[in-house]
Amino acid sequence: MAYGSVKIQEKALTWRVTLAYLLVIAIIQPAIVYNWLVNGLWGLAGLSSWTVILLWAGLTRRLGSPLTSKEIFAIRMIDSAGLMYTGYYFAYILRNMYFANSEIAKLFGLQHKVPPFFSPLGEDFLRISLQRTFFDSSWTPPIFICIVLPVIFSAVANYVLGLIAYSLYVREEKLVFPYASWDARTMLAFGERDVSKIRIISLAIAGGALYGFMTNVLTTIFGRPLVPRLLIDFTGILENVMPGGAFAFTTDLLSYVTGFILPLKYTALQLFSSVSLYVFGNYYMTINDLWPEECKWQPGRGILWNFNMSTIYFWNSFTIGWGIAAAVIPLIVRYKTVLRAFAGIRRGLSGSSESSKWLNAKYLILIYLAIAVASICIVRVLVPEFPLWILLLFTIGMSFIMTLLQTHSAGIMIGINIPYLRETMIYFSGYRELDIWFIPPEMMLYLGGSGITQQVLQASMLNVNLKEYTRIYFLLVALGLTGSFIFVSLFWRLYPIPGHAYPYTISAWPVEAMNFWRWQSWLWTGYLFRREWMTTGFGLSTAIYLVSDFLLHDASLPIAMIGGMLTPINTALAQFAGSLISMLGAKYIGEKFWNENRGFIFIGLAVGDSLVSAFLLIMQLVNRSIWLMPY
């Protein structure tokens, strides 16, 4: 569909899209919630809205009225706008209730410090456990504080931050956003029924399904992997020469094809930084005996332990400092670009006067500040002694900085998330009381703006009006929350939660409860968040940015490097190899053909593989549910 054609008047939110939403709520969302209760896994083995799109596209084509690109975009938003995620919220507050009333809470002697806005307690807990219903007055504070307010505040704040980041990184910096862009092109190919592109995508989906069958289905049937999909760990060999160092590679094809859409120079920098930290950095920590007493390095523990523990005790602090510099220093150096970005928000998606009537940088900033201030005031009412300055710094400042960092990363690579930001905030506040731990993180940090930026980019590529995108976004958030209430209530009415019908709640919730209560004291050991590591990361990132921007004329190099600091070596190596293969593909297959289709191959393989994996998981869930039947 060409920009400016008559089809630009088509709607994205149609009755067919609404039916697709209802299908997801009625069938897929309860399966997702059930999978989490049974297996502790989010989603359905990679099953995405592309499954619904392929099903709906086939049905509508047979009925003689195929889906448009805009309708495909509206269905695709099921993944990114919350319907696949908000479904867990009411299950989470059941888990909170277990945390607060379990024997583990009594063991730590902290149950009396649980506030009523976190969970029903005492007689209220006993009554609710017998009745198994959310229609009880003791649920009002937890639902309001732990679900309703966080969802509303984060949805609005992320929306505003996403629009600001869109204006900065899409309009002004003109970053390519490889995954979001290829995803939108795939939607466009199906919507415009481009036969040549659909043929390539279909072949890739078939290839991904075949790969999933060979690696997962055959493994399930025969009980051993016939086509390996493994992590080959060489850490045990490397640590004989470099104690503490870790190295591995994966045989998973999808990890390699991800590199097809990523620039080689950035995947090379990502691999360089990952090796620097987890081979040479960990080696330095080990030979200098810098591991804390509670977590001493020992040979033979493998790359997973090595990566996770070194990240927690060393590199997370380093990465936070690095990331702050990578996000803030460009704002100072390129302040004119930032000012143009704020001024450019008013143009909306397409420069139409309709958008400019209601979209204004001043209003958006006021909305963001109003949401942040309201959230801070509520937190202060609930936790009066928590320092105001740290709330202002993190809720307003860090949310903005992390949005810029995550969006810039998604603009050149796949995207990143820096962990333990809430814990960082609590640690540097110096506040040691427990009540702050019961405040939902979404009330204090807004970290979803990058996803909004990518959705708005896709909307602009598909000529979806910003107002219509906004309606779809908030509608999906509301539908997801409604579905969560309905289906968690039904599962709870059928069987107790936690209970034998939902094995994950029996096997893993006690471990999670132990970790939840242990964090309160573990945080203050002094090992987790280190000022010297943050300062070092900030300084190095600043220096590398200045060199890369003024001498190499590429401001994204520190962002590519932080991706490697948060990525295991096996993943970084696979993506680098994929980028190399992509470069060779352009050389030997034909640059024009390869560059026009490499993203379709990546997305098709991923969709095909996820369909097979989801089918296997659904069969397992069906078998479990049959086992629970009384006959």
Residue 31's pLDDT is 85
| Tokens matching residue 571 | 């993943």
Does pLDDT of 166 surpass 70?
yes
What band does 141 get if pLDDT is binned at 50, 70 and 90? very high
Residue range 560-589: mean pLDDT, rounded: 93
Burial track 419-440 (b if 16+ CB lie within 10 A, e otherwise): ebbbbbbbbebebeeebbbbbb
- Closest by alpha carbon to 380, among 392, 398, 369? 392
DSSP 177-229: -HHHHHHHHHHHHHHTT-HHHHHHHHHHHHHHHHHHIIIIIHHHHHSS-SS--
pLDDT of 5 > 50? The answer is: no
Average pLDDT over residues 1-19: 66
Q: How far is CA 22 from the centre of its chain?
A: 24
Give the residue among 560, 620, 538 at the shortest CA–CA distance from 324: 538
**Position 308 pLDDT exceeds 60:** yes
Residues 6+ apart with CB under 8 A from 332: none
**Whole-structure pTM value:** 0.91
* Residue 352: predicted pLDDT: 46
Task: Name the residue type at position 509.
Answer: W
Residue 83 banded pLDDT, cuts 50, 70, 90 = low
In this model, does residue 188 exceed pLDDT 70? Answer: yes
pLDDT of residue 359: 63
pLDDT reported for residue 58? 85
Q: Is 233 helix (H, G, I), strand (E, B) or coil?
A: strand
Q: Tell whether the model's pLDDT for residue 351 goes beyond 50.
A: no
Q: Say whether pLDDT at 629 is over 70.
A: no
**590 or 181: which leads in pLDDT:** 181
Q: pLDDT (tens digit, 9 = 90+) per residue, 383-441?
A: 999 999 999 999 999 999 999 999 999 999 988 888 888 999 999 998 988 999 999 99
DSSP-derived 3-state class of residue 240: coil
Q: Assess contact for 450 and 410: CB atoms under 8 A.
A: yes
Percent of the chain with pLDDT over 90: 56
pLDDT for 628? 54
**What average pLDDT does this structure show over 558-580?**
94
What is the token pair recorded at 292? 């804390």
Distance CA 438, CA 223 (A): 44
CA angle (280, 281, 287) in 5-degree steps: 85
How far is 435 from 437, CA to CA, in rounded Å? 5
Locate tokens 């220096």: which residue? 543
Instruction: Say if residue 547's pLDDT is above 90.
Output: yes
Letter for the amino acid at 18?
Answer: T
Residue 574: pLDDT above 90? yes
pLDDT, position 573: 96
Structure tokens at 574: 């696979």
